[in-house]
C-alpha cells in the first residue's frame, strides 16, 4: 500500500522529522574522529493556547502519536569514498538549562481524527541521540546524526535543554557495499513473510563477508528479532541474496529491516535498511468514498469506487497498494495502455478495453477471461477488484448494507 502515511510524514533517512532542515558538514579528505555540536537556544511561539517550541535550523520530532512535539537537531557529515562509520558515542553534553510552565501540543499523525489522541505520559524523548550511516553508489558516505537536546515532561511541564555535545566517531575503510536493497512490499499482513532482495558489490580483493539481519520497531534501537548470521565465502564483484523474516504475531505497526555486512574481523563493511508496515485486519473500500482502510487505518485515494452495470469498479493502483504491491511494481505503459502488477513471483497484466487478464507465475502464463474490461476514469485505471485481489492471494466479499468491498487473506 502506498507509502503508508502512518509511517510518518516524509522522514529524513528514517529519523522521524517533520521539516526538511539540517546542518551539513562538507566532505573532508581525512575524516574527523570527534564531532562537536552546538545547539542554538530554543524559541517559543504561542499558537492557539499552545507553546510551539523550535530550534533555529532544527526539526520537530513526529515519531509517536500522543507524544509532545519537541524540537531536535540533525547534523549531516559527508565522508569520502571507501570510509565506513563503525560507531558513534556521546562523550559529553553540557550547557543545561531548565524551566517549567510550557504547554506543548501533542503529535497527531492521523489527520482524519475527530478527537485528539490520548497524551502519553512520561519524559520525552527517550534517547539523547541517534545516528545512521549510508553509502552512495559512488562509494561516498553520509552520517546523519540526530541530537535530541530538549526533554519535556507532560505531567509537570518540566523542561531540560542541553546546548553543547561532543561525539566520538570510529570508522574504517571498505571496498564492500550494498549496491541495492529492496523489499517486495511496502506493507504486509501479520503472519506474512517479509522478504528483502539484496545485491552486494566488492570492488577489491575477494573476501569472506558475514551478513546479519535485524528487525526493529521504527524509531527504536532495540532489535525485535533477526535471522541467523550468514557467511558468504570469497565474495568478488557482484553477489546477490535474499533474506526472509516470518512476521508471525509481532504486532501491527511500523518496522525496519536492517542488513549489516561485516568482515571476519567484525568490522562493519556496510549497512542498509528499509521501512515496512505490519497490519492486521481486512482491506476495505467504500463505494463513493475516496479512501480505503487497512485494519481500520484510513488511507486517501484520488478517485472513489463506483458501481456500473452491476459491477463494482475500484482503482487498480489502490487495490494493488492494499494488497501490498509497491509503487515500483506497478508499471503503466501509455502506448500499449497496459498496467502490470508484480508481487512476489506473480505478475498480472491488464489492458484497457480488454477483458483478458494474463497471470504469470513460475509455472507459466495463464489467460483469464474477465466478464468486464478495465476502463479509465478520472485518469485512473478501474476494474472489478476480484480479478486482481484473488490472483494476489486475497479473498473478496461484498457488504451490500454498507456498500463495502472487503479483501482478506
Same domain for 363 and 255: no
* Residues sharing a CB contact under 8 Å with residue 83, sequence separation 6 or more, in sequence order: 31, 141, 171, 172, 173, 174
- Phi and psi at 170, nearest 5°, equal -105, 140
Whose cell is 515496512? That residue is: 276
| Cα gap 347→140, rounded to integer Å | 36
CATH of the domain at 78: 2.60.40.3800
Same domain for 163 and 59: yes
For 185, the 3-state DSSP assignment is coil
Q: Going residue by residue through the chain (409 aa), what tens digit of pLDDT does each one get?
A: 333 333 333 333 333 333 345 666 666 667 889 999 999 999 999 999 999 999 999 999 988 889 999 999 999 999 998 899 999 999 999 999 999 999 999 998 766 667 788 899 999 999 999 998 988 878 888 999 999 999 999 999 999 999 999 999 999 999 999 999 988 877 787 778 888 999 999 999 999 999 999 998 877 777 886 688 999 999 999 999 999 998 887 877 788 999 999 999 999 999 998 888 887 778 899 999 998 888 777 888 888 999 988 888 999 888 888 887 877 788 999 899 999 998 878 999 999 999 999 999 989 999 999 988 999 988 888 987 888 889 988 889 999 899 999 988 7
Asked if 320 and 341 touch (Cβ cutoff 8 Å), the reply is yes
Domain boundary among 256, 279, 302: 279
**Which whole-number Å values give the CA distances from 98 to 84, 151, 159, 332, in the listed order?**
37, 10, 5, 56
Total-model pTM: 0.63
Same domain for 220 and 90: no
Write out the three cell numbers for 109.
499523525
| Total domains in the fold of the chain | 3
| Cα gap 120→105, rounded to integer Å | 12
| Cα gap 20→11, rounded to integer Å | 8
Same domain for 156 and 75: yes
Same domain for 149 and 115: yes
For the chain, helix, strand, coil in percent to 5 are: 5, 55, 40
| Cα gap 385→315, rounded to integer Å | 8
Amino acid at each position: 500500500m502506498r507509502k503508508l502515511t502512518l509511517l510518518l510524514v516524509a522522514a529524513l533517512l528514517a529519523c522521524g522529522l517533520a521539516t526538511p532542515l539540517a546542518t551539513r558538514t562538507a566532505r573532508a579528505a581525512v575524516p574527523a574522529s570527534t564531532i562537536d555540536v552546538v545547539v542554538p537556544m530554543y524559541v517559543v511561539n504561542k499558537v492557539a493556547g499552545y507553546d510551539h517550541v523550535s530550534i533555529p535550523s532544527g526539526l520537530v520530532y513526529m515519531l509517536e502519536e500522543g507524544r509532545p512535539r519537541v524540537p531536535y537537531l540533525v547534523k549531516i557529515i559527508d565522508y569520502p569514498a571507501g570510509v565506513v562509520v563503525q560507531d558513534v558515542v556521546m562523550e559529553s553534553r553540557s550547557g543545561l538549562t531548565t524551566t517549567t510552565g510550557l504547554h506543548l501540543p501533542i503529535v497527531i499523525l492521523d489527520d482524519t481524527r475527530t478527537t485528539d489522541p490520548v497524551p502519553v505520559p512520561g519524559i520525552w524523548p527517550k534517547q539523547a541521540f541517534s545516528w545512521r550511516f549510508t553509502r552512495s553508489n559512488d562509494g561516498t558516505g553520509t552520517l546523519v546524526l540526530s541530537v535530541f537536546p530538549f526533554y519535556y515532561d507532560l505531567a509537570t511541564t518540566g523542561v531540560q535543554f542541553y546546548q553543547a555535545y561532543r561525539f566520538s566517531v570510529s570508522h574504517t575503510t571498505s571496498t564492500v557495499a550494498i549496491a541495492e536493497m529492496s523489499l517486495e512490499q511496502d506493507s504486509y499482513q501479520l503472519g506474512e513473510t517479509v522478504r528483502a532482495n539484496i545485491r552486494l558489490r566488492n570492488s577489491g580483493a575477494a573476501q569472506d563477508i558475514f551478513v546479519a539481519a535485524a528487525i526493529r520497531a521504527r524509531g527504536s534501537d532495540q532489535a525485535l528479532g533477526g535471522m541467523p548470521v550468514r557467511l558468504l565465502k570469497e565474495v568478488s564483484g557482484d553477489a546477490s541474496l535474499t533474506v526472509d523474516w516470518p512476521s508471525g504475531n509481532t504486532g501491527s505497526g511500523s518496522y525496519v529491516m536492517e542488513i549489516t555486512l561485516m568482515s571476519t574481523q567484525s568490522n562493519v563493511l556496510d549497512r542498509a535498511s528499509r521501512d515496512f508496515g505490519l497490519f492486521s485486519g481486512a482491506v476495505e473500500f467504500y463505494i463513493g468514498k475516496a479512501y480505503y482502510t487497512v485494519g481500520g487505518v484510513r488511507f486517501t485515494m484520488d478517485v472513489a469506487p463506483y458501481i456500473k452495470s452491476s459491477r463494482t469498479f475500484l482503482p487498480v493502483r489502490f487495490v494493488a497498494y492494499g494488497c501490498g504491491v509497491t509503487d515500483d511494481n506497478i508499471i503503466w505503459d501509455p502506448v500499449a495502455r497496459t498496467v502490470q502488477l508484480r508481487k512476489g513471483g506473480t505478475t498480472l497484466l491488464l489492458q484497457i478495453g480488454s477483458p483478458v487478464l494474463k497471470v504469470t507465475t513460475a509455472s507459466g502464463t495463464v489467460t483469464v477471461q474477465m466478464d468486464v474490461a478495465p476502463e479509465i476514469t478520472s485518469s485512473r485505471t478501474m476494474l472489478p477488484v476480484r480479478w486482481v485481489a484473488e490472483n494476489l492471494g486475497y479473498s473478496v466479499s461484498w457488504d451490500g448494507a454498507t456498500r463495502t468491498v472487503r479483501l482478506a487473506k
